[in-house]
Amino acid sequence: LEDRRRRRGGRRKREMEMQVERVVEEAREAFESGGTRSYFWRRSQLRALKDLILESEIAICDALMLDLGKHRVEAFRDEVGLLAKSVDHALENLKKWMKPEKVRVPLVSFPSTGEVVPEPLGVILIIASWNFPIGLSLEPLIGAISAGNSVVLKPSELALASSKFLATSLPKYLDNKAVKVIEGGPLIGQQLLDQKWDKIFFTGSTRVGRIVMSAAAKHLTPVCLELGGKCPAIVDSLQGSRDIKVAINRIAGAKWGFCSGQACIAIDYLLVEEKYAPFLVDLLKEKIKKCYMRPGHLTRIVNKKQFERLREILEDPLVAATVVHGGSLDQENMFIEPTILMNPPLDSEVMTEEIFGPLLPIITLKKIADSIEFLKRRPKPLAIYAFTKDGKLKKRIVEETSSGSVTFNDAVVQFVVESLPFGGTGPSGFGKYHGKFSFAEFSHGKAVLKRSFLIEISLRYPPWSEDKLQF
């Protein structure tokens, strides 16, 4: 029986491999036919994507409700609305992005002209994560098709309804020879990584990011890795009741109102001056009671594994002792109450690993300026946030710390500003996307120099003589 099961497993694996090979082959044929290069193809695909997003608003929100219990408004704000805005931006700018960029040429090459011509890379593999399963699949797709590539997309198996939605809807709207969806988990992911790609765009954990990069090395495939990390928010002792109120709204929103903290750019922890911390905690508690306790207003934890991971973090006795608000877990509905921790040990998991959930540690410092040293001693995060009006502190944060982005007096919104590049640095990843940065990420900027036959300088060539150096 065992033998038969093993044989059946082997057969299934081989079938999957063949399916993967076939899909990649078709995507390559579509690219090599030249069809994806034209402006008209790119524009028609972007328009079709826009139709899909708008016509499927309800289906997308339903899928996100099933996968994550995301409220309809949150689903619209973070995925449907954002994607529609992104496609519009690409449609508006596509012609401009596709234009060769003229450059100045030095006198030594006179007469000549130079330009950088954007060229599609070829066949792109996009591997997406589960927390924004539609947005993080389609946002890179917008860039890849704008740049004239064919694409194979693998959504996350952990957001199954969203994955199914993408697999059934994309072929109905887009050119299904050039844009393909393959569903599956790590096994399919691994089989996809065994293929030859022209670029791999990966959103996910640092652990799998390493696997992606090692696989890419085999074919010298360029990769863009959108990874995670611990995004801190420095909260200065703000004066003025309106500023404090706004800051609290934004901090709570970027933790509990953003996929329950299951987001790469969610606030991971706060850095606050000792004397300001009790006041801040009171305000946060109030905000939680008002906005984040009603059922349906907080996204649930994605699955049992993640739920158990968060439970273990919280149930470490040294961490549990620091809970100043919340801490209750509802396993049946996979909800974790918004939880505030005051000064958990810096070597506990809650402060060494990305939290990816609704737990908010507050770390107190003697002076807020000490936050710079605190951050410099830790891995470079995807984002640093700082709520402050102190110009000197802002300058020091920008100049002395390193992160994918810095946002002052807000959090998470940097993601919607398509004129800013989005991406990490160091362990939070590399490569940039959004807007024209996506177009560049999925293009090769080819250097084209056009010379004429007019002027010829024989000094360039042998036979060499010392007097040639005089010129």
Residues with a known catalytic role: 226, 264
Do the beta carbons of residue 61 and residue 76 sit within 8 Å?
yes
- Spatial separation of the C-alpha atoms in residues 136 and 141, rounded to whole Å: 9
Q: Cβ closer to ligand NAD: 60 or 247?
A: 60
Does position 130 interact with ligand NAD (CB under 6 A)? The reply is yes
Does position 131 interact with ligand NAD (CB under 6 A)? The reply is yes
**Residue 461 corresponds to which tokens in the numbers above?**
């060539």
**Closest approach of Cβ 211 to ligand NAD, in Å?**
5
Does position 154 interact with ligand NAD (CB under 6 A)? The reply is yes
Does position 261 interact with ligand NAD (CB under 6 A)? The reply is no
Residue of 30, 152, 166, 193 that binds ligand NAD (CB under 6 A): 193
Q: How many residues comprise the chain? A: 471
Closest CA to 244 of 213, 216, 279: 279
- Spatial separation of the C-alpha atoms in residues 385 and 317, rounded to whole Å: 29
| 246-249: long-range contacts, CB 8 A cutoff, minimum separation 24 | 246/409, 247/387, 247/409, 248/280, 248/283, 248/284, 248/287, 249/287
Residue of 34, 185, 296, 445 that binds ligand NAD (CB under 6 A): 185
- Terminal Cα distance for the chain, rounded: 85
Residues 351-380 close enough to bind ligand NAD by CB under 6 A: 354, 356
* Segment interacting with ligand NAD, rule: CB under 6 A, options 74-82, 127-135, 282-290, 324-332: 127-135
Do the beta carbons of residue 222 and residue 199 sit within 8 Å?
yes
Does position 150 interact with ligand NAD (CB under 6 A)? The reply is no
Does position 205 interact with ligand NAD (CB under 6 A)? The reply is yes
Rounded to an integer, what is the distance from CA 32 to the centroid of its chain? 29
Residue of 29, 115, 157, 390 that binds ligand NAD (CB under 6 A): 157
Does position 186 interact with ligand NAD (CB under 6 A)? The reply is yes
* Segment interacting with ligand NAD, rule: CB under 6 A, options 59-67, 182-190, 322-330, 384-392: 182-190
Q: Cβ closer to ligand NAD: 238 or 256?
A: 256
**Closest approach of Cβ 138 to ligand NAD, in Å?**
13
**Residue 377 corresponds to which tokens in the numbers above?**
């001693």
Residue of 48, 124, 223, 264 that binds ligand NAD (CB under 6 A): 264
Closest CA to 375 of 356, 357, 351: 351
* Segment interacting with ligand NAD, rule: CB under 6 A, options 173-181, 201-209, 359-367, 384-392: 201-209
- Spatial separation of the C-alpha atoms in residues 96 and 143, rounded to whole Å: 14
DSSP assignment letter at 460: G
Angle subtended by helix axes 186-193 and 2-32, to nearest 10? 50
Q: Are strands 123-127 and 112-120 parallel, antiparallel or unpaired?
A: unpaired
**Closest approach of Cβ 294 to ligand NAD, in Å?**
26
Question: Which residues of this chain interact with ligand NAD, rule CB under 6 A?
Answer: 127-131, 136, 154, 156-157, 185-186, 189-190, 193, 203-205, 208, 211, 226-228, 264, 354, 356, 382, 424, 429
